[in-house]
Amino acid sequence: MKTAFITGVTGQDGAYLAKLLLDKGYDVHGGVRRSSQPETTRLDLLGITNAVTLHDFELTEPNSISRVIRDIPMDEFYNLAAQSFVGASWELPVYTADADGMAVVKILDTLRTFRPETRFYQASTSEMFGLVQEVPQSETTRLYPRSPYGVAKVYGHYITMNYRESFGMHASSGILFNHESPLRGTDFVTRKITLGLAKLAHGGATPIELGNMDAKRDWGYAGDYVEGMWRMLQQDQADDYVLATGETFTIRQFFDFAAEALGMQLEWAGTGPDEIAVDVKSGKRVMQVNPKFYRPAEVDLLIGDASKAHRKLGWRPTVAVKELAAMMVQFDYDMLALHRSPQISKSPDDQLPHYIWTQDEFASQHSQTGSARC
Ligand code: NAP
Ligand code: G4F
């Protein structure tokens, strides 16, 4: 049995990766930072909280890094923890540099000392391409980050390559384009949209306030992307890989896809800060722009070229953006229904899509954990 350690195991990707590795027979350990109340909602929702061994872990504390690496014999180390919200990185630039940049070299150097044979995965990001120098973006595209988050991740990316080249460590960097799911944090634009639309569909009246509607992203499904991470660490040679769908859409288009899945029909009007969307059927305003969500510097266009991952890892995304938007908005709609009416029960045949979990698992998890964060 292989042993894996995942930093950020309570996050979106950490939870899906833990589930994938457990299904493959791994002994899975995960790092959780201290908070006044343990937060394991995503692990609860996947029904795996008790199957993962949780350890106190703080990215910005070198002693915490040393302790877990010294004490846990591990074959694979996945560094997924980060201050991952780009918008917050302008408010927390120094903390973001510590957590997303400096912590990576602390981990690598501790692995070099205690466990040089452990395989290492670094969660790099398409945000490093920023003001893109090439379309589409691949492993060889020049980096031009546009946020303190992007800059910190560039350091993490290059130091991972450097430790591989300097010390022969099996250290790989996954340059992942945006990937989403029903477990996505509610600050990110896709989940903000799907949760807001689900509330409106349940009778809510508050329009969703958004920033730049013209930014374009290459959105995939997180479940596919954690499979790619695992495949990177199964290669004989460590390397860097882009994971992406190769398709790009505006925020407005994603909004339309999610609204359509709820049976809404949107009419768009205005431009820039005056843009709004109205659902023709209900007459409700469902979106308005609020410039407070504009960023000091924007990443206008991301579209990835994942041909190296296709060729070398046999990796391909399986969920297209329309399906992803429908999956997320359906989940939020159902969670709100369950939250509002706990007596609602669907027939056992009426299952949620396989990539979430079955209705029975969903109901039993829900009853164990109380209301999920909706
Ligand atoms: P996420 O949902 O925000 O999860 C981040 C995880 O990191 C959470 O478990 C969080 O713990 C933990 N964490 C944050 N600060 C920490 C600290 N100081 N010490 C210890 N743990 C800390 O992010 P995600 O979407 O799963 O992304 C996973 C990784 O991939 C991140 O490094 C992100 O930057 C990168 N990435 C994500 C995407 C994407 O589209 N999702 C694309 C490219 C790269 P709490 O639960 O306590 O907050
Ligand atoms: O959903 P977002 O916050 O994701 P962003 O900035 O692309 O970052 C995500 O993907 C990166 C990979 O490229 C990861 F490394 C990172 O950790 C994170 O997972 O914003 C997407 C776009 C931006 O252009 C933003 O300006 O949506 C635009 N947007 C418009 N209105 C908004 C909003 N974003 C958010 N979060 N909230 C809004 O109201």
Q: Which atom of ligand 1 is nearest to the CA of 178?
A: 40
Ligand 2 nearest atom to the CA of residue 210, by list position = 39
Q: For this structure, is 58 an active site residue?
A: no
Q: pLDDT digit string (tens) for 71-116?
A: 999 999 999 999 999 999 999 999 999 999 999 999 999 999 999 9
From the list 258, 240, 57, the residue with the least C-alpha distance to 165 is 240
Location of structure tokens 């999920």 = 372
When the pLDDT of each residue in the chain is averaged and rounded to a whole number, the result is: 92
Nearest CA to ligand 1 atom 4: 11
Task: Tell me, yes or no, if 149 is annotated catalytic.
Answer: yes
Model confidence at 365: pLDDT above 60: no
The pLDDT tens digits of the residues spanning 336-346 come to 888 665 444 34
Q: Indicate whether 312 pLDDT > 80.
A: yes
Closest Cα to atom 17, ligand 2: which residue?
84
Mean pLDDT of the region 169-192: 98
**Three-state SS for 347?**
coil
Which token pair is 114?
A: 């205690």
- Copy the structure tokens of residue 366: 């829900």
Mean local confidence (pLDDT), 2-28 = 98
pLDDT of residue 340: 64
Going from the Cα of 161 to the center of ligand 2, the distance in angstroms, rounded, reads 26
- What 3-state DSSP class applies to 234? coil
What pLDDT is recorded for position 341?
52
Cα of 58 vs its chain's centroid, Å: 19
Using the structure block, give the residue that is written with the tokens 């807001």.
196
Is residue 367's pLDDT more than 50? no
Distance 304 CA to ligand 2 centre (A): 16
Q: Which of 149, 163, 225, 333 is catalytic?
A: 149
Ligand 1 geometric centre to CA of 175 (Å): 14
Helix ranges restricted to H, 140-250: 148-167, 189-201, 222-233
What DSSP letter does each residue of 9-64 carry, written as one string? TTSHHHHHHHHHHHHTT-EEEEEE---SS---HHHHHHT-GGGSEEEE--TT-HHH
207-235 pLDDT per residue, tens: 999 999 999 999 999 999 999 999 999 99
Ligand nearest to the backbone CA of 187: 2
**Ligand 1 center from residue 359 Cα (angstroms):** 28
- From the CB of residue 56, how many other CB atoms can be counted at a distance below 10 Å? 12
Least confident of 246-255, 335-344, 352-361: 352-361
Q: Residue 247 catalytic?
A: no
Which protein residues touch ligand 2 with a CB less than 6 Å away?
A: 84, 86-87, 125-127, 177-178, 187-189, 192, 210-212, 215, 217, 251, 293, 295, 298-299, 302
